[in-house]
């Protein structure tokens, strides 16, 4: 559990291996991101997650990170407490409301201290990367072949920095920098989500079924106003909960990831809310992305583990005054979500479990070529982050997908899929700075 005390308590990990459909040439480990996503379940969906060629040639391995999914999951919060956190006002209008956010922000760590096992203090990414090397060795794999998406790229990059000599073929898709502060990551995402929000507004205006009138700029203005109005006039829903401003923001921001599937559903849910003054459909989108069942139970511990990992890796060293300054600074570039995301930083303030990660860019000196994949219009992991990682790696190679989407492999680009498969199967790196349409 604590790598500073290797003879102390241990952690049991859940691992699954899906055999190759043909003759196996080795194993590929997967991680879907989060943090808090289940790699075990992700591997079970291998037929969708990777191409038929990769399924034929590789065993697919998923290891739930410590404290996540099936690997001794930590639970800090009750279902009712998670409901309350998601619904709470995240954009204070008065000094009193600001004080309430400050007081409430310390609750997650306090709840972990009281309710969770001791493991919650040891869920940092450096520890998870060390676990991955033990899993690799336990399976008898000489190297770690790996596909990591979103947060999974931070895990992969950390592994490559710690164990460059056992890196095999590593694909890092949708880069989350390992050395950025919580403030830097949050601002980068606020700006990227703003761009995706404007893209959604453009698509909505052109759809013929948008609940708001006018062109893209008009739609964006009206949608921001709709969300802001939920602060004083939350919408009723079928199960008795209210759609608050925070829940409305969450519904929108969490359906800006995958335009082909997300945009039509978000547009329809917004139409029901605007036309019928009914927040049921928007709240259902939130429930879907947070694994909340219709009976009010959260079916996994992704919320608890998201905080446990994120705040350990990147504790916020600011206070209320710093947040108020950031709200002003971010307003121009991220008017839709910047304020709420800035106030959200306080959850990680004075976090009691600190990571041992590096504050320097990843080099992975001595590792073989590593393939970085990045999307120009990624709402959660900006393209600039992927470009920077490819440049900082001693032997990094970048594939860019010119599209709006979170991550790229197996998301609709044959060009990207072919480049990733050629690298995994034969170690062939793509031409310098390959750009796929």
Q: How many CA atoms lie within 13 A of 375 on its CB side?
A: 26
Question: 298, 331, 350: which is the final residue of a domain?
Answer: 350
Identify whether residues 253 and 326 lie together within a single domain.
Answer: yes
Kindly report, residue by residue over 296-346, the tens digit of the pLDDT.
999 999 999 999 999 999 999 999 999 999 999 999 999 999 999 999 999
Q: Among 64, 287, 313, 378, which one carries the catalytic annotation?
A: 378
Task: Quick: pLDDT tens for 192-240.
Answer: 999 999 999 999 999 999 999 999 999 999 999 999 999 999 999 999 9
* Cα 80 to Cα 173: distance, rounded to the nearest angstrom: 34
Question: Other C-beta atoms within 10 Å of 168: how many?
Answer: 19
Q: Based on the domain organization, do 233 and 320 belong to the same domain?
A: yes
Asked if residue 129 is part of any domain, the answer here is: yes
Q: How far apart are CA 408 and CA 386, in angstroms?
A: 12
> 63 and 85: one domain?
no
Question: Does the structure show a pLDDT above 90 at 373?
Answer: yes
Q: Within this chain, do residues 175 and 159 fall inside the same structural domain, yes or no?
A: yes
- Whether 187 is covered by a domain: the verdict is no
The last residue of a domain, from among 350, 372, 407: 350
Longest C-alpha distance within the chain, in Å? 65
Assess whether pLDDT exceeds 90 at residue 283.
Answer: yes
Number of domains in the chain: 2
Helical H runs in 230-382?
245-253, 259-276, 280-289, 302-313, 320-330, 338-344
Q: Has residue 9 been placed in a domain?
A: no
Q: Assess contact for 189 and 388: CB atoms under 8 A.
A: no
CA dist., res. 116 & res. 100, Å (int): 24
| Active-site residue identified among 124, 406, 417, 421 | 406
Q: Does the CA dihedral 286-155-334-212 come out positive or negative?
A: negative
The pair of structure tokens assigned to 379 is 């709402």
Q: Tokens 């600039």: give the residue.
A: 384
| Segment 244-280, tens digit of pLDDT | 999 999 999 999 999 999 999 999 999 999 999 999 9
Same domain, 255 and 338: yes
Let me know whether 50 and 110 are in one domain. no
What domain range is 320 assigned to? 76-115+192-313+316-350
| Nearest residue to 362 via CA among 142, 167, 133 | 167
Burial 377-409 (b: 16+ CB within 10 A, else e): bbbbbbbbbbbbbbebbebbbbbbbebbbbbbb
**Same domain, yes or no, for 285 and 196?**
yes
Q: What is the CATH number of the domain that holds 54?
A: 3.40.50.1820
Examine residue 379 and state whether it is found in any structural domain, yes or no.
Answer: yes
Predicted pLDDT of residue 431: 87
Same domain, 60 and 93: no
Two structure tokens written together for 322:
């710093």
406 annotated active-site: yes
pTM of the predicted model over 0.95 = yes
pLDDT digits (tens, 9 = 90+) for 20-79: 999 999 999 999 999 999 999 999 999 999 999 999 999 999 999 999 999 999 999 999
pLDDT at 356 over 80: no
Instruction: Give the residue carrying structure tokens 């710093």.
Output: 322
179 is catalytic: no
Query: Are 50 and 139 members of one domain?
Result: yes
Residues 205, 322: one domain? yes
Choice among 51, 105, 127, 150 that is catalytic: 150
Asked if residue 216 belongs to a domain, the reply is yes
Q: Tell me whether residue 425 is exposed, middle or buried, using C-beta atoms within 10 angstroms of its C-beta: 0 to 12, 13 to 18, 19 or more.
A: middle
- CA pair distance 431, 390, nearest whole angstrom: 13
Q: Is 181 in the active site?
A: no
């Amino acid at each position: 559990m604590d790598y500073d005390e290797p003879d102390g308590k241990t952690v049991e990990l859940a691992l699954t291996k899906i055999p190759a459909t043909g003759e196996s040439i080795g194993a590929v480990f997967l991680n879907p991101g989060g943090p808090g996503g289940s790699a075990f379940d992700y591997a079970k969906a291998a037929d969708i997650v990777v191409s038929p060629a990769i399924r034929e040639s590789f065993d697919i391995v998923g290891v739930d990170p410590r404290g996540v999914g099936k690997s001794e999951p930590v639970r800090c919060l009750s279902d009712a407490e998670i409901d309350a956190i998601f619904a709470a006002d995240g954009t204070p209008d008065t000094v009193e409301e600001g004080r309430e956010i400050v007081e409430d922000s310390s609750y997650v760590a306090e709840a972990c201290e009281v309710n969770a096992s001791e493991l919650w203090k040891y869920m940092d990414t450096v520890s998870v990367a060390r676990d991955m090397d033990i899993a690799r060795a336990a399976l008898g794999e000489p190297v770690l072949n790996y596909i990591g998406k979103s947060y999974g790229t931070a895990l992969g990059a950390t592994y490559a920095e710690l164990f460059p000599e056992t890196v095999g073929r590593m694909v890092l898709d949708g880069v989350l920098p390992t050395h950025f502060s919580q403030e830097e990551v949050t601002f980068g995402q606020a700006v990227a989500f703003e761009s995706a929000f404007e893209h959604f507004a453009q698509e909505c205006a052109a759809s013929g079924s948008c609940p708001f009138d006018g062109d893209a700029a008009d739609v964006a203005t009206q949608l921001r106003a709709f969300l802001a109005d939920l602060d004083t006039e939350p919408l009723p829903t079928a199960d008795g909960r209210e759609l608050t401003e925070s829940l409305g923001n969450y519904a929108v921001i969490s359906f800006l990831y995958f335009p082909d599937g997300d945009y039509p559903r978000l547009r329809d849910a917004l139409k029901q809310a605007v036309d019928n003054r009914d927040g049921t459909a928007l709240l259902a989108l939130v429930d879907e992305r947070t694994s909340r069942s219709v009976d009010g139970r959260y079916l996994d511990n992704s919320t608890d583990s998201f905080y446990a990992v994120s705040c350990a890796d990147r504790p916020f060293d600011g206070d209320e005054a710093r947040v108020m300054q950031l709200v002003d600074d971010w307003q121009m570039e991220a008017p839709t979500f910047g304020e709420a995301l800035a106030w959200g930083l306080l959850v990680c303030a004075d976090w009691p479990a600190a990571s041992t990660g590096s504050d320097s860019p990843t080099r992975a000196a001595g590792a073989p070529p590593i393939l970085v994949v990045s999307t120009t219009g990624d709402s959660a992991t900006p393209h600039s982050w992927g470009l920077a990682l490819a440049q900082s790696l001693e032997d990094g190679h970048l594939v860019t997908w010119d599209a709006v989407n979170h991550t790229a492999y197996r998301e609709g680009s044959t060009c990207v899929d072919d480049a990733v498969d050629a690298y995994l199967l034969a170690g062939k790196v793509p031409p310098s700075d390959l750009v796929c349409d």
